[in-house]
Structure 1
Amino acid sequence: MSFHTQIKVVCTLAGFSVGVFCVLITMAVTQ
Structure 2
Amino acid sequence: MDTIFALSSGAPPAGIAIVRVSGPEAGPALE
- TM-score of the pair, normalised by structure 1: 0.18
Q: Max radius of gyration: which structure?
A: 1
Q: Which is helix-richer, 1 or 2?
A: 1
Q: Which is strand-richer, 1 or 2?
A: 2
- TM-score of the pair, normalised by structure 2: 0.18
